[in-house]
Amino acid sequence: MNVAAPVSRRALLAFPLVLTAGAARAVYPEQRLRLVLPFGPGSATDTLLRIVAEPLQAALGQSVVVDNKPGALTSLALADVAKAPPDGYTVVAATNSIVANPAGIQRSPGYDAMRDFAPITRIAVTSYVLVVASDKPWKNLGELLAHARAHSGKLNYASGNLGGLLYGGMFARAVGAEMTHVPYKSTPPALVDLLAGHVELMFTDLVTAAGQAKAGKLRVLLATAPQRTALFPDVPTIAESGLRGIADMPAWWSLYGPAGMPRTAIDRLNREVVAILSKPEIRARLQALGLEATPSTPEELAAFTREQSQNYLRLVKEFGIQPE
């Protein structure tokens, strides 16, 4: 799966995020690293970053403390890191939300994506799937669509992250049926309520869906990737479904620190994380979860962040998304 658009020289030169040299210490790191995650334990973000955190801790020779801070569509964690001392000891594993929230998803996210962060490296990418509990009567997408159109306003969809929110809204509009949005702080509690029958459907990432579907708890009805995923080869894509007006919006993770972070710290973290993501055994673990490793330079992440911000500004306008 290759979802990253080529990074243009123009976009790279235009990006204003500051990659500062800073007043770096002679030796980095000299203390533990705080790795902030915008989602709770058991989420795709938590699963992915714990795979990276263990070898990173060994490579740095210092503890890597994972700090789960879910809430406010990830803005709680992002604002916390944006305001943290730029000493190289606080970083965040951000998702699409870092650019989507200020693009119009939230009125006041509490940070400026272009000004408040120092890019370190991209981490991974995945796509979303539409899931229902396995005890629901809809055996395929066609049956769900027929039910939704015949019972407009009766179905609800959960979201535990930005992708779930946006895909759910675009799906309801494409189907032509009213559906009620039920938001959650993170994917795990949303999934609990889905399995308990409190909500009917949700879009979730491949990482979450794979394990639950394998256990027979979830039924996967639709894939958002341009091609069918190897994890669910029998599940149709949006293009195959005939639904129109649903944007291709893969989920991604990248590592950032506060603006003003010493360049020596940026370079050390970049070097170690890129090395970890390049290991065959790590790539194999990620692929088994439906993830593709996407290591990069800080400058490549800077350009990617700006391009993604522009994409979400266009998406918010095109689909008439109202800020929460």
Using the predicted structure, report yes or no on whether residue 283 has a pLDDT greater than 50. Answer: yes
In a domain, 3, yes or no: no
Spell out the residues 6+ positions from residue 255 whose beta carbon is closer than 8 angstroms to its own.
91, 92, 93, 94, 119, 120, 121, 122, 123, 269, 273, 301
Using CA atoms, how far apart are residues 185 and 43, in angstroms rounded to an integer?
11
Q: What is the pLDDT of residue 76?
A: 95
Burial group, residue 192, by CB count within 10 angstroms (0-12, 13-18, 19+): middle
Instruction: Name the least confident of 15-24, 123-132, 204-213.
Output: 15-24
Give the number of residues written for the chain: 324
Q: What percent of the chain has pLDDT over 70?
A: 92
With beta carbons less than 8 A apart as the criterion, state whether 262 and 28 touch: yes
Tens digits of per-residue pLDDT, 62-102? 999 999 999 888 999 999 999 999 999 999 999 999 998 89
Q: Tell me the residue range of the domain where 226 lies.
A: 128-241
Residues 52 and 90 placed together within one structural domain of the fold: yes
Using the predicted structure, report yes or no on whether residue 2 has a pLDDT greater than 80. Answer: no
Q: How confident is the model at residue 26 (pLDDT cuts 50, 70, 90)?
A: low
Q: What is the CATH number of the domain that holds 229?
A: 3.40.190.10
Of the residues 174, 206, 241, the one at which a domain ends = 241
Tens digits of per-residue pLDDT, 252-274? 999 999 999 999 999 999 999 99
Instruction: Name the least confident of 1-10, 81-90, 93-102, 205-214.
Output: 1-10
With beta carbons less than 8 A apart as the criterion, state whether 129 and 222 touch: yes
Using CA atoms, how far apart are residues 317 and 103, in angstroms rounded to an integer?
9
Residues 60 and 208 placed together within one structural domain of the fold: no
Q: What domain count does the chain have?
A: 2
Tens digits of per-residue pLDDT, 174-200? 999 999 999 998 888 999 999 999 999
The rounded mean pLDDT for the chain is 90
Using the predicted structure, report yes or no on whether residue 213 has a pLDDT greater than 80. Answer: yes
